[in-house]
């Protein structure tokens, strides 16, 4: 019995000393981290428990001070943080004396302090550094009115005056800083807009220049061709001059020729897709539309199987592959086109595969189709500087089922990164169109 009482007493003594020990043990500040949203700088101290604290404002330079009492700073905490925000330039933390940890925030703003449970150390002190409320910027606070709740009530009236003045000064500086920032931002935006416009103008001019050069080149070739042909004519015409002139005109230009162009794929059928996602159906259409312009400028009648990103068959996505291909042949056959050109881009599993191929179907207009495929393939290689993969026979539906000289041209390999880039660039598209155009001229020449 006596032993039990002694044991109980001992236990009570031990437990109470543990409580006393726990209560008097200082809070340990184990980390300081911060975030900056522009409108607010939030400083978070990871602390082992809540403790008393004091706020102070000091001038020259303006700084906000938070003293944590009965607290120690862990040696692992980084002592200085450069925030660089107008709200808080720099944050420092240190063991101010044996029982006080001091946080100094270089700032002209207001602070709002509160505690939160949790975090890696069990407890967090949050110090929000926020803009000075606008009421301080416009109204002169009367010394007699009570100060904001954050002001410790222990201050005497003259301390309050000083603090209000300091706040006014901080508010004024903050407003100035904001105005300066707004002005800078405005100037920056105006500059950006100016640069954007200049860039657009430059791009527009470059495009005009490219088009002008392409036109010049076409005219030069046409002139050369005319001169070459005039040279070949016998000096003593064998027939009436007007007949020769007529023949010449027929030979020299594409006037009156009906040319069917078939941009491969379209709509729900993208065709092959390049390593950066360029789609065959887009390349073929872009080239076809440029080619159409070139041919029309020379007086040709151009029949396009499609001029937008769509299927040719009226059945759209529901059309079978054969229906879709037959629809393309029908366009050319119904128009009684002189030639049919189906434009495609090649693709292969090995990305190094490259070059240009001309295809023909042997039994359709036989030698004429071979010549058409050959002329276009050659002129294309010359324009876009691709290696030739030759002119080859094939069994492709569109060249087999068209009634006129027909070719399917594989411009280059969309699966090859370099050739994909070529075919997707505006210059590359123009060159492809020019190459096919040159081949057509050659064919009719
Ligand atoms: Zn294709």
Give, for all 445 residues of the chain, the pLDDT tens digit: 667 766 666 666 555 555 555 557 899 999 999 998 888 899 999 999 999 999 888 887 788 899 999 999 999 999 999 888 888 889 999 999 999 999 999 888 888 899 999 889 999 999 998 876 544 444 444 444 444 444 444 556 666 677 777 777 887 888 888 888 889 999 999 999 999 999 999 988 888 888 888 778 777 777 777 777 666 655 444 445 556 655 555 555 688 899 999 999 999 999 999 999 999 999 999 999 999 999 999 899 999 999 999 999 999 889 999 999 999 999 999 999 999 999 999 999 999 999 999 999 976 556 899 999 999 999 999 999 999 999 999 999 999 999 999 999 999 999 999 999 999 999 999 999 999 999 999 999 8
- Residue 321 Cα to ligand 1 midpoint, Å, equals 13
Q: What's the CATH code of the domain at 112?
A: 2.60.40.3500
Find the domain containing 316 and state its range: 253-444
- Residue 344 Cα to ligand 1 midpoint, Å, equals 4
- Residue 265 Cα to ligand 1 midpoint, Å, equals 6
CA distance 259 to 430: 18
Q: In this structure, are 274 and 244 located in the same domain?
A: no
Domain boundary among 133, 163, 183: 133
Q: In this structure, are 244 and 353 located in the same domain?
A: no
Q: In this structure, are 222 and 86 located in the same domain?
A: no
- Residue 195 Cα to ligand 1 midpoint, Å, equals 40
Q: Does residue 138 lie in a domain region? A: no
- Residue 219 Cα to ligand 1 midpoint, Å, equals 32
- Residue 409 Cα to ligand 1 midpoint, Å, equals 9
Q: Does residue 243 lie in a domain region? A: yes
Give the per-residue pLDDT at 235. 47
- Residue 261 Cα to ligand 1 midpoint, Å, equals 14
Q: Does residue 177 lie in a domain region? A: no
Q: What's the CATH code of the domain at 289?
A: 3.40.630.40
- Residue 346 Cα to ligand 1 midpoint, Å, equals 6
Per the confidence metrics, is the pTM higher than 0.85? no
Q: Does residue 163 lie in a domain region? A: no
- Residue 4 Cα to ligand 1 midpoint, Å, equals 97
Q: In this structure, are 117 and 243 located in the same domain?
A: no
Q: How many domains does the chain fold into? A: 3
- Residue 419 Cα to ligand 1 midpoint, Å, equals 15
- Residue 362 Cα to ligand 1 midpoint, Å, equals 20
- Residue 281 Cα to ligand 1 midpoint, Å, equals 8
Q: Does residue 187 lie in a domain region? A: no
Q: In this structure, are 89 and 222 located in the same domain?
A: no
- Residue 47 Cα to ligand 1 midpoint, Å, equals 67
Cβ atoms of 30 and 76 closer than 8 Å: yes
Domain boundary among 85, 100, 133: 133
Q: In this structure, are 324 and 403 located in the same domain?
A: yes
- Residue 414 Cα to ligand 1 midpoint, Å, equals 10
Q: In this structure, are 353 and 263 located in the same domain?
A: yes
Q: Does residue 152 lie in a domain region? A: no
Q: In this structure, are 334 and 403 located in the same domain?
A: yes
Q: Does residue 330 lie in a domain region? A: yes
Give the per-residue pLDDT at 141. 41
Q: In this structure, are 103 and 205 located in the same domain?
A: no
Q: Does residue 164 lie in a domain region? A: no
- Residue 279 Cα to ligand 1 midpoint, Å, equals 10
- Residue 132 Cα to ligand 1 midpoint, Å, equals 66
Q: In this structure, are 267 and 340 located in the same domain?
A: yes
Q: In this structure, are 411 and 434 located in the same domain?
A: yes
- Residue 246 Cα to ligand 1 midpoint, Å, equals 40
CA atoms within 13 A on the CB side of 331: 25
- Residue 359 Cα to ligand 1 midpoint, Å, equals 12
- Residue 348 Cα to ligand 1 midpoint, Å, equals 12
Q: In this structure, are 376 and 303 located in the same domain?
A: yes
- Residue 426 Cα to ligand 1 midpoint, Å, equals 20
- Residue 399 Cα to ligand 1 midpoint, Å, equals 13
- Residue 345 Cα to ligand 1 midpoint, Å, equals 6
């Amino acid at each position: 019995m006596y032993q039990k009482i002694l044991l109980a007493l001992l236990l009570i003594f031990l437990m109470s000393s543990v409580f006393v020990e726990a209560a008097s043990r200082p809070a340990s500040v184990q980390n300081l981290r911060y975030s900056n949203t522009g409108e607010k700088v939030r400083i978070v101290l990871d602390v082992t428990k809540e403790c008393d604290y004091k706020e102070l404002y000091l001038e020259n330079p303006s700084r906000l001070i938070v003293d944590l009492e009965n607290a120690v700073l862990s040696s692992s905490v980084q002592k200085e943080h450069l925030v660089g925000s107008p709200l808080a330039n720099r944050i420092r933390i240190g063991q101010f004396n044996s029982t006080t940890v001091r946080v100094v925030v270089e700032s002209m703003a207001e602070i709002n302090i509160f505690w939160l449970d949790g975090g890696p150390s069990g407890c967090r002190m949050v110090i929000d550094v926020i803009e000075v409320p606008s009421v301080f910027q416009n109204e002169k606070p009367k010394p007699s009115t009570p100060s904001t709740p954050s002001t410790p009530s222990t201050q005497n009236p003259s301390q309050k005056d000083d603090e209000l003045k300091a706040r006014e000064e901080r508010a004024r500086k903050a407003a100035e800083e904001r105005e300066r920032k707004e002005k800078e931002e405005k100037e920056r935006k105006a500059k950006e807009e100016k640069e954007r416009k200049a860039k657009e103008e430059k791009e527009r001019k470059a495009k005009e220049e490219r088009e002008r050069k392409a036109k010049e080149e076409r005219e030069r070739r046409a002139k050369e061709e005319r001169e070459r042909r005039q040279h070949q004519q016998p000096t003593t015409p064998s027939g009436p001059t007007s007949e020769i002139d007529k023949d010449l005109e027929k030979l020299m230009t594409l006037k009156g020729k009906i040319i069917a162009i078939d941009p491969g794929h379209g709509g729900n059928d993208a065709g092959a897709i390049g390593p950066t996602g360029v789609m065959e159906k887009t390349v073929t259409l872009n080239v076809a539309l440029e080619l159409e312009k070139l041919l029309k400028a020379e007086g040709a009648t151009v029949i396009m199987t499609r001029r937008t990103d769509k299927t040719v068959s009226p059945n759209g996505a529901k059309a079978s592959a054969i229906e879709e291909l037959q629809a393309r042949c029908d366009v050319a056959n119904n128009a009684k086109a002189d030639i049919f050109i189906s434009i495609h881009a090649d693709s292969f599993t090995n990305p190094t595969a490259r070059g240009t191929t001309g295809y023909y179907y042997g039994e359709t207009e036989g030698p004429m189709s071979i010549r058409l495929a050959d002329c276009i393939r050659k002129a294309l290689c010359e324009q876009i500087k691709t290696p030739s993969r030759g002119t080859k026979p094939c069994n492709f539906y569109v060249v087999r089922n068209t009634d006129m000289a027909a070719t399917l041209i594989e411009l280059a390999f969309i699966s090859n990164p370099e050739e994909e880039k070529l075919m997707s660039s505006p210059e590359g598209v123009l060159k492809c169109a020019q190459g096919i155009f040159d081949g057509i001229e050659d064919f009719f020449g």
